[in-house]
């Protein structure tokens, strides 16, 4: 049970730290009178789950949890879940490799 909690906490931390990986992405926004693709900055790896919002200062995303909760930037929950699952699978794969390596050292 402790390992399960450790994996979940670490994957949540890695998902949050992935916000420091920022790149530009295309998002549907209203441009003058029609819907169009706008290039905005987004944070997260491998998918950008936090995208620069319409009311936030341009070219920046808020990294503190309070601004994420308030909703200044656009939080994409589905991409957040995918990023979380990505990091938990990376941690699990690393754990399996480490466990097999330790097992080979014993014999």
Contacts of 83 (CB under 8 A, 6+ apart): 15, 18, 44, 45, 46, 47, 49
pLDDT attached to residue 107: 56
**53 pLDDT more than 90:** no
Q: Is the peptide bond before 46 cis (omega within 30 degrees of 0)?
A: yes
Residue ranges per structural domain of the chain: 2-106
Q: Which pTM does this prediction carry?
A: 0.82
- What's the mean pLDDT when you consider all of the chain? 87
Q: Are 18 and 42 in contact (CB under 8 A)?
A: no
Model confidence over 14-29: pLDDT tens digits? Answer: 999 999 999 998 888 8
Find, among 2, 73, 80, 82, the residue nearest to 40 by Cα. 73
- The two tokens of residue 4 are 């399960």
Q: 93 phi and psi, to 5 degrees?
A: -65, -40
- Report the distance separating Cα 103 and Cα 97, nearest Å: 10
Q: 42 phi and psi, to 5 degrees?
A: -135, 155
């Amino acid at each position: 049970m402790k390992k399960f909690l450790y994996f979940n906490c670490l994957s949540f931390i890695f998902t949050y730290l992935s916000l420091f990986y920022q790149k530009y992405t295309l998002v549907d926004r209203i441009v003058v009178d029609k819907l169009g693709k706008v290039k905005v900055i987004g944070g997260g790896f491998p998918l950008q789950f936090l995208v620069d919002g319409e009311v936030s200062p341009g070219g920046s995303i808020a990294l503190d949890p309070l601004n994420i909760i308030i909703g200044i930037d656009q939080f994409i929950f589905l991409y957040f879940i995918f990023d979380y699952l990505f990091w938990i699978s990376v941690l699990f794969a690393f754990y399996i490799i480490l466990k097999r390596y330790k097992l080979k050292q014993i014999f």
